[in-house]
A and B are shown apart, each in its own frame.
Chain A
Amino acid sequence: DFVMTQSPDSLAVSLGERATINCKSSQSVLYSSNNKNYLGWYQQKPRQPPKLLIYWASTRESGVPDRFSGSGSGTNFTLTINSLQAEDVAIYYCHQYYSIPRTFGQGTKVEIK
């Protein structure tokens, strides 16, 4: 299985500041034939299902604010939330869809400092 490891497990950021979450895959999720990273990011708020933010490692889902951005390739990825807003308080998960079984990171909890 592809093991997805996120860091940190939690972070507290001041409103308007930047939050950075890292995700490392145990194996590359870059598919050489199309040069796409099969890596997504999800946001989950309490008592809600996860919401897709980013796919292909860096493509924002429709309707997602542009303060959310994804980067990275191969095995190392980053989700950046620029100018953190109160509504961004949530747990964020990275997810690989390169291989079966699909796997998720353990989650990173983002709070307001």
Chain B
Amino acid sequence: QVQLQESGPGLVKPSQTLSLTCTVSGGSITRGSYYWTWIRQPAGKGLEWIGRIYTSGSTNYNPSLKTRVTISLDTSTNQFSLKLSSVTAADTAVYYCARGSGDRTFDIWGQGTMVTVSS
């Protein structure tokens, strides 16, 4: 059974770059017609889609974050990553990685990792 797990620093200073990794276990990241997604949720608030990457390397980003976001894929380690530059307190949130498809949208999620932006 495919599982996802986020990892990365829980505290990032303002203006720096937030970097997270999602490790996919229980199956190859290249298997099937899936894409790999990052979604975030500020405390007590709703869900915001950050972007996605296909195994081809093709990406789509939320226009609201596009200038600051990079999502990449490493098939050799079965991982995909998120980089968000020039962070501010508004980027403080729980960050989730998820598997997506055109049929069942986001069907498998990681447990989430809390990232706080503070000096």
Contact = CB atoms under 8 A, between A and B. Distances in A.
Interface of A: 1, 38, 40, 42, 48-52, 55-56, 61, 93, 95, 97, 100-107
Interface in B42-64: 46-49, 60-64
A107 B47 CA distance: 9
A1 B110 CA distance: 26
A48 B47 CA distance: 13
A61 B48 CA distance: 22
B105 A55 contact: yes
B104 interface: yes
A93 B63 contact: no
Task: Count chain A CB atoms within 10 A of each CB in B63, B98, B107 and give the residue with the most.
Answer: B107
A15 B103 CA distance: 33
A40 B105 contact: yes
B47 A50 contact: yes
Given A50-B109, A93-B46, A107-B46, A100 B60 contact: yes
Contacts of A1: 63
A95 B100 CA distance: 13
A93 B48 CA distance: 12
Interface in B94-108: 96, 98, 100, 102-107
25 contacts: A40-B104, A49-B98, A49-B110, A50-B96, A50-B109, A52-B104, A52-B106, A55-B105, A55-B107, A61-B104, A93-B47, A95-B47, A95-B106, A97-B102, A101-B60, A101-B61, A101-B62, A101-B64, A102-B105, A103-B49, A104-B46, A104-B48, A104-B49, A105-B46, A106-B46
A63 B13 CA distance: 42
Task: Give me the 10 closest cross-chain CB pairs, A-B, nearest first.
Answer: A49-B109, A102-B49, A101-B62, A97-B105, A104-B47, A55-B104, A40-B105, A100-B60, A52-B107, A106-B46
